[in-house]
Amino acid sequence: MKCVKVKNNLSVAKNLAQKTLRYAQGDSTNYEGMTMEYKTREYPQFAACGLNCGLCPRYYTDGKSRCPGCAGEGFSEVHPTCGILSCCQRKGIEYCFECDEFPCKKFDSWGDADSFITHRNYLSDMEKAKRMGMDAYKSELNEKMSILARLLSCYDDGRRKGFFCLAVNLMELSDIKTIADQLDSNTMPETPVKQKAAAAFELFSETAQQQGISLKLRK
């Protein structure tokens, strides 16, 4: 029986090693029970795939479910495998738009639905980052993150985190700044948080509607 058990364990180990190798080579299959180790990225707030991780609800969540952003410290604990990130790190690039094969088959239908964060603008955001340069894109994203943190601190009644994350992600920085300034001018520190949250929801919703932006995640 011991010999059989040893053979079975070796078979499992060999199988897992083969899966790990295929995953590192870009195979995007979801292999259950496998955890990849990724090199920590300098700026995890903007993902290799073009998602703005710094504007995701899970980035602003406390506890074990918090995501540190793409290949941030502890990333593998919440995202054991990611075929796109594995492919980028294997090729020695930070972002998919730096690859000659982009956009490749890994992105087929990938942007058709959302997860915790919207996938709606991942292509246009990567094109924007490529056009502007990463320093300029990081500066804009950092400013968006700063405003989002302010909204979550002062205008979230416990029900608006996902809404604010989505709005700040999809809307232009200039519009977000205008709304944030309006909110700060029209509300007082002593204003009840539910009233402030309702005012913020109304302003973002009105502006988004005027611009044809839907502030609902796609399932």
Could you report the per-residue pLDDT of 82-136, keeping only the tens digit for each?
Answer: 889 999 999 999 999 999 998 888 888 777 889 999 999 999 999 999 999 999 9
d(CA 169, CA 114): 13
Beta-carbon contacts of 87 under 8 Å, excluding residues fewer than 6 positions away, are: 25, 26, 106
Burial of 165 (0-12, 13-18, 19+ CB in 10 A): buried
How far apart, in whole angstroms, are the C-alpha atoms of residue 107 and residue 175?
30
pTM above 0.85, yes or no: no
DSSP state letters, the chain: -HHHHHHHHHHHHHHHHHHHHHHHTT-----TT-----PPPS-TTS-TTS--GGGSGGGG--STT---STT-TTHHHH-S--HHHHHHHHHT-SSGGGSTT-S-GGGTTTTSS-SSS--TTHHHHHHHHHHH-HHHHHHHHHHHHHHHHHHHHHS--SS-HHHHHHHHHHS-HHHHHHHHHHHHHH--TTS-HHHHHHHHHHHHHHHHHHTT---S---
**pLDDT truncated to tens, each residue of the chain (219 aa)?**
444 443 444 443 444 344 444 444 444 444 444 456 788 999 999 999 999 999 999 999 998 889 999 999 989 888 888 889 999 999 999 999 999 998 888 888 777 889 999 999 999 999 999 999 999 999 999 999 999 999 999 999 999 999 999 999 999 999 999 999 999 999 888 899 999 999 999 999 999 999 999 999 998
